[in-house]
Amino acid sequence: MSARENLYAALAGMSAEPSASDMEKGAALQSLQHRLRALEFGKRGADVDLFLFRAAEAGTKVHRCSSLQEAASLLSTHIGTGKHCILASDPLIDRMELSRILAGNQCHSIRVTDADLGVHNADARHGYAAADFGITVAQAGLADSGAILISSSQNESRSVSLLPVEHVALLPADRIVPSLLQAAPMLRAMAGDGGTSAATLVGGPSKTADIEKVLVTGVHGPAVLTIIVIENTV
Amino acid sequence: MTKFTTPIEPENIKLLIAERIHDPQLRGNIARATKTSLVKRAVVVEDFPDWEEMRGVAHDIKRHVMDNAGKYLAQFEERASSAGAQVHFAADAEQASRIVCDIAARHGRRVAVKSKSMTGEEIDLTHALERAGLEAIETDLGEYIIQLAGEPPSHITAPALHKSRGEIGQLFAEKLGIAYSDDPEYLTKVARRILREDFLRADVGVSGVNFAVAESGSICIVENEGNARLSTTMPKVHIAVMGFEKLLPDFESLSLFLNMLGRSATGQRITCYTSVLTGPRRAGEHDGPEELHIVVLDNGRTRMLSDPQLREALFCIRCGACMNVCPVYQKIGGHGYGSIYPGPIGSIITPVFRGVERAAAMPFASSLCGACSEICPVRIDLHHLLMTWRERISEKRQGKIAERIAMRLFQFIAARTAYFDFSGRLFRMFAPLLRDSDRGLRTPVWGRTRAFPAPPEKSFKQLWAEKIEREGEA
């Protein structure tokens, strides 16, 4: 027998209740789900202030803007001149006219959609790795931890939030949910058909404490994570 | 830098402990690191007034999944396959390593970047890849440090915890040819620069799995540095190795476990990066691996599952909190146990993985204080499982005639009230002599470095009788 058949045969033979039907398994899971939902961690509010507080606590740089215009001018100042930027393709970024603003700052910017980053495309990869800023739009924010949810798609590569020195994420305030429990349905949808191969929760800048528990940021990923919460995106 | 000579194997545990217990530098390194983790954990666990109920729910979810392991594994395999992942099965370490090496061989057999994986350590994957002719590079900073040092990890989440910054500075100067510095920031930047190039040139990325979500066939990888994201994004092929006990039913369960893992491991509400990977790169995406292979490993786990007591050890989510809180671990560190799974949980699972003959001393390296059971986020009854092993090992053990005669004698006396009272009185009378004399009570390990405690003047029975008498009078 193959290793696969052996494993399944062994597992079938040793269930605590081998007679348990799929229906019983479903009922048991449902009762666990019920207890899980009664837990405190899923019952907090979708509080923007708490999100900002928790994110800052985790070492993320946070800003709060009331409009897209305000966010755009803040980003322009934040990035400065002569920088190399990579932008996700997102309606929000388009409406902020970031490409135009960055060009005005003598920044070199490319869109994620401009380059395939496959193994064969070494130049594009090194270009990403040399970038100062990767700018993306978050799918959700988790108030109780200050983390954001991002995902790989035709508009956003995995590398844009990974290779540059700084990752800037724009987060519309209405995408903030209380906790990871409320983001579970989003993760489910992302994993399904028409979804993504990679959904990632980002809870701060890349960091390590592997040397004497001393915190150092920017090990392998971005050394700086900046989140700009935008109240009104209309 | 202290140089220890005893090979780190479970059968050498007594020598390993003896070497380490007398090394103040090592004990200082471990004490500082474990204490930092515990303090940080305590703060963020306070977020939840119902932490105890969270532990209960987490425990019961794991129990439910293990009770239905075959069904959840089949669901996971089916969903992962339909998302385009290739699922492989391995009965033991050798099979798993061979599967990984064969895949790597098909893709040029050149460079593999590895992100931290205890399952990878369990099957000694890095060495297997090297033997197969690949350059296998550990990319987690702690793992990178110990790979340079040629040592196994000493903690499951902080593998280089036993080393001071000075020791790491010397190691980097020696192996990487840089100027000596003990600045963690500088040393980290050096590693970033070197490893960034490795990520960009690697053909294969190898990772572990923290959780496998049955409902979608997703694997979830938790980290802080970004090396796991890079290892699973940049190379053309991603190979993930997991034990089937990593299964969870759904994303709601995942959200609970992620809330507990970061807090218990490093005192973080959430780690910096939590990747949920479902199949390889999809049409239209710009990067990510073209192939995703998931290797599902048994390696003694079904044996553990069939054991009515030890099966609970499969609930472990590898947070390392039981090590941080363990008074024995705090003194001897991970290498003192001789196993890549050290501490309380390591002492329970290593006898299963490596054979009880080789690891028989591990369950005895514990004070049975129960701190591990109290801190475990999935409420594994760790110290009772250590007792279970002790009972089994003691029952089998022949010889030790003196011990058996002593226990018989105790059994005889303890069952007879008058004998028991009399022997107690004798003991209280003569114990002070033993205490004062040079000869002392030289029990093999314990008595050598300690004074014998003073006996009480009266027995509990006498005190109790006097109390009842006093209350009668009042």
Cα–Cα separations (whole angstroms), residue B319 to B40, B203, B313, B448 = 14, 30, 13, 36
Helix (H, G, I), strand (E, B) or coil at B87: strand
Cα–Cα distance for residue pair B348/B8, rounded to 1 Å: 17
Cα–Cα distance for residue pair A184/B126, rounded to 1 Å: 34
Give the minimum alpha-carbon distance from A229 to chain B in angstroms, rounded to a whole number: 19
Contacts of B252 in chain A (CB under 8 A): 33, 36-37, 181, 184
How do residues A46-77 score in pLDDT, each as one tens digit?
899 999 999 999 999 999 999 999 999 999 99
A87: pLDDT strictly greater than 70: yes
Tell me the helix, strand and coil percentages in chain B, rounded to 5: 55, 10, 35
Give the minimum alpha-carbon distance from A144 to chain B in angstroms, rounded to a whole number: 8
The residue of B210, B266, B285 whose CB has the most chain A CBs within 10 angstroms, and thus the best one to mutate to test that interface, is: B285
B32, B224, B233 ranked by CB distance to A158: nearest: B233
Q: In the prediction, which pLDDT does B403 show?
A: 80
**Residue B51, CA atoms < 13 Å, CB-side half-sphere:** 18
Cα–Cα distance for residue pair A103/B244, rounded to 1 Å: 51
How many Å from the N-terminal Cα to the C-terminal Cα in chain A?
61
Q: In the prediction, which pLDDT does B1 show?
A: 44
The residue of B187, B234, B260, B272 whose CB has the most chain A CBs within 10 angstroms, and thus the best one to mutate to test that interface, is: B272
Confidence of residue B30 (pLDDT cuts 50, 70, 90): very high
How many Å from the N-terminal Cα to the C-terminal Cα in chain B?
68
Q: Which of residues 317-346 of B touch A (CB under 8 A)?
A: none
Query: Residue B251 carries which DSSP code?
Result: H
Angle between helices B51-67 and B69-82 (to 10 degrees): 80
Cα–Cα distance for residue pair B273/B264, rounded to 1 Å: 16
CATH code of the domain occupying B10-302: 3.40.50.10420
How do residues B416-472 score in pLDDT, each as one tens digit?
999 999 999 998 888 777 665 555 555 556 666 666 777 888 899 999 999 999 988
B48, B60, B141 ranked by CB distance to A40: nearest: B48
Helix (H, G, I), strand (E, B) or coil at B222: strand
Give the minimum alpha-carbon distance from B192 to chain A in angstroms, rounded to a whole number: 6
B302 and A14 within 8 Å at the Cβ level: the answer is: yes
* Residue-averaged pLDDT of chain B: 93
Q: In the prediction, which pLDDT does B473 show?
A: 79
Q: Look up residue A220 and give its two tokens.
A: 């392998």
Q: What is the DSSP string of B162-179?
A: T--HHHHHHHHHHHH-PP
A22 and B71 within 8 Å at the Cβ level: the answer is: yes
How do residues B162-178 score in pLDDT, each as one tens digit?
999 999 999 999 999 99
Cα–Cα distance for residue pair B195/B143, rounded to 1 Å: 12
Query: Which strands sit side by side in the sheet containing A176-177, from one edge to the other?
Result: A176-177, A140-142, A147-151, A198-202, B273-277, B218-223, B211-213, B247-248
Contacts of A218 in chain B (CB under 8 A): 188-189, 192
Domains and CATH numbers, chain A: 46-232 (3.40.50.10420)
Contact B328, B365 (CB under 8 A): yes
B39: pLDDT strictly greater than 60: yes
Question: What is the Rg, in whole angstroms, of the alpha carbon atoms belonging to chain A?
Answer: 21
Which residue type sits at B111?
A: V
Q: In the prediction, which pLDDT does A86 show?
A: 94
- Partners of A225 in the β-ladder: A167
Q: Look up residue B11 and give its two tokens.
A: 């059968």
**Average pLDDT rounded to a whole number, residues B252-258:** 98
Give the minimum alpha-carbon distance from B107 to chain A in angstroms, rounded to a whole number: 12
Contacts of A90 in chain B (CB under 8 A): none
How do residues A123-142 score in pLDDT, each as one tens digit?
888 888 889 999 999 999 99
B286 and A39 within 8 Å at the Cβ level: the answer is: no
**Average pLDDT rounded to a whole number, residues B116-143:** 95
Q: What is the DSSP string of A69-137?
A: HHHHHHHHHHH-SS-EEEE---HHHHHTTHHHHHHHTT-EEEEGGG----TT-HHHHHHHHT-SEEEEE
- How many other CB atoms are there within 10 angstroms of residue B47's CB atom? 16
Contacts of A227 in chain B (CB under 8 A): none
B67, B262, B302 ranked by CB distance to A17: nearest: B67
Confidence of residue B234 (pLDDT cuts 50, 70, 90): very high
Helices (H) and strands (E) in chain A, counts: 8, 12
A221 and B226 within 8 Å at the Cβ level: the answer is: yes
For residue B204, what is the nearest residue in chain A, using CA coordinates?
A119
Q: What is the ipTM of this complex?
A: 0.96
Contacts of B200 in chain A (CB under 8 A): 122, 125-126, 129
Cα–Cα separations (whole angstroms), residue B446 to B24, B422, B441, B442 = 20, 26, 10, 8
A219 and B188 within 8 Å at the Cβ level: the answer is: yes
CATH 3.40.50.10420 residue spans of chain B: 10-302
Q: Which of residues 384-443 of B touch A (CB under 8 A)?
A: none
Q: Which of residues 79-108 of B touch A (CB under 8 A)?
A: 83, 89-91, 95
Nearest one of B301, B339, B388, B360 to B155, comparing CA atoms: B339
